[in-house]
Amino acid sequence: QVQLVESGGGLVQPGGSLRLSCAASGSIFRINAMGWYRQAPGKQRDLVAGLSSSGVTNYADSVKGRFTISRDNAENTLYLQMNSLRPEDTAVYYCKFAGRPDFHSVKDYDYWGQGTQVTVSS
């Protein structure tokens, strides 16, 4: 059983910083991509930052230059460093791993964490 657990969220003032962590337990045969998503009240869940297995990153335009996605390969942990936070960054942030559960799998499956709340407010 694969589980992803996010941590690091909380209340921060505008202009502040947070670092989110996503720790994976269990086993995935092959991880092909990882990413951070967020969902604000009344809005769709959108990709914030993605990281491929080869290390290529991509970011939503709204966070470019402010957020950085990275991973710790040895510990199967994904990070999102968030700087210069704005009120519009307020959302529940979710991590996702996409990969194959075993050798015989013919497609990728998505594995989601439960989310961590980030609130940017004075």
pLDDT single digits (tens) 36-45 = 999 999 999 9
Predicted pLDDT of residue 63: 98
- pLDDT higher than 80, residue 79: yes
Tokens standing for 120? 């940017």
Mean pLDDT, rounded, for 90-110: 93
Q: Buried b vs exposed e over 68-94: b needs ≥16 C-beta within 10 Å?
A: ebebeeeebbbbbebeebeeebbbbbb
DSSP string covering 14-59, please? TT--EEEEEEEES--SEEEEEEEEEE-TTS--EEEEEEETTS-EEE
Q: Choose among 74, 63, 65: nearest CA to 35.
A: 63
pLDDT at 67: 98
Measured in degrees and rounded to the nearest 5, phi and psi for residue 64 equal: -60, 135
What confidence score (pLDDT) does residue 28 get? 79
CA distance 28 to 109: 10
